[in-house]
Copies of this chain bind each other. A is one copy, B any other.
Amino acid sequence: MSTTEVKVLGSTGSPFVMRAVIALNIKSVDYELLEQNLVVKSELLLKSNPIYKKIPVLIHADKPICESLVIVQYIDEVWTCGPSILPSDPYDRAIARFWAAYLDDKWFPSVRVIVLTAEGDEVKKETLQQVATGLELLEDAFPKCNKDGNFFGGERIGYLDIALGCFLPCLRVIEKVHNLKLLDEAKTPNLCKWAESFCSDAAVKDVIPETDKLIEFAKVLIAKIKARPSN
């Protein structure tokens, strides 16, 4: 596979870009990561994703695919020779899709609010509770999804592992900046073990950004938000 055939428009540290990159790594597909300037957006990004103008975009054989979960499913369906990312059983696939949609629609918005709360500023109890509740639901779902193996997908990383795992760096940022414990041996023992397996997996370990770098990145974003004129 030539590196020119598969491109990812992305940015280091974006959880959604991580999803595309991990899926490509699982399938051993070579790709070129085109780092995007998210303030002055490139012509290529605007042309490739005119609806959302957001990363990630996967460009395969000159055709753009947008939205991280759509991209992961596309990668699974195109490179069928590599390990499967979606479970093979339709019911298991439905469960994985359900939880992945839950993460993006209901859970991550609360995570995002806390990541964008400056050090020393109050984290609302309600928001923190929403994050904790989501983790408890996933803790409970883990043994139901996974009859054996270290991952939601079983013995190998699958769709839901990618969907949740890309948010682990955000959780680490929250834990460090706000001196909180989110993944906890007592409350979420399955997820603690899962997170360790996930981060040390060959398809993932070079993709996870350093927590301190992400904290710096979050600080820049927070400063930008605070500098905006209020409505």
A63–B95 alpha-carbon span in the complex (Å): 11
A62–B102 alpha-carbon span in the complex (Å): 22
A1–B29 alpha-carbon span in the complex (Å): 42
Q: Tell me if A34 is interfacial: C-beta within 8 Å of chain B.
A: no
How far in angstroms is the closest Cβ of chain B from A140?
Answer: 10
| A73 & B93 in contact (Cβ 8 Å cutoff) | yes
Q: Which residue of B lies closest to A63 (CB)?
A: B91
How far in angstroms is the closest Cβ of chain B from A106?
Answer: 8
Q: Tell me if A70 is interfacial: C-beta within 8 Å of chain B.
A: yes
Also in contact, A91 and B70, with CB within 8 A (given A51-B102, A102-B51, A137-B51): no
| B70 & A90 in contact (Cβ 8 Å cutoff) | no
| A91 & B67 in contact (Cβ 8 Å cutoff) | no
| 0/1 interface trace, chain A 53-79, chain B, CB 8 Å (1 if under) | 000000010010111011101100110
Partner of A90, one of B74, B102, B105: B74
Q: Tell me if A94 is interfacial: C-beta within 8 Å of chain B.
A: yes
Partner of A94, one of B65, B98, B101, B102: B65
| B94 & A70 in contact (Cβ 8 Å cutoff) | yes
Q: Which residue of B lies closest to A97 (CB)?
A: B70
Q: Which residues of B contact A77 (CB under 8 A)?
A: 90, 93
**Chain A interface residues toward B at CB < 8 A:** 51, 60, 63, 65-67, 69-71, 73-74, 77-78, 90-91, 93-94, 97-98, 101-102, 105, 137
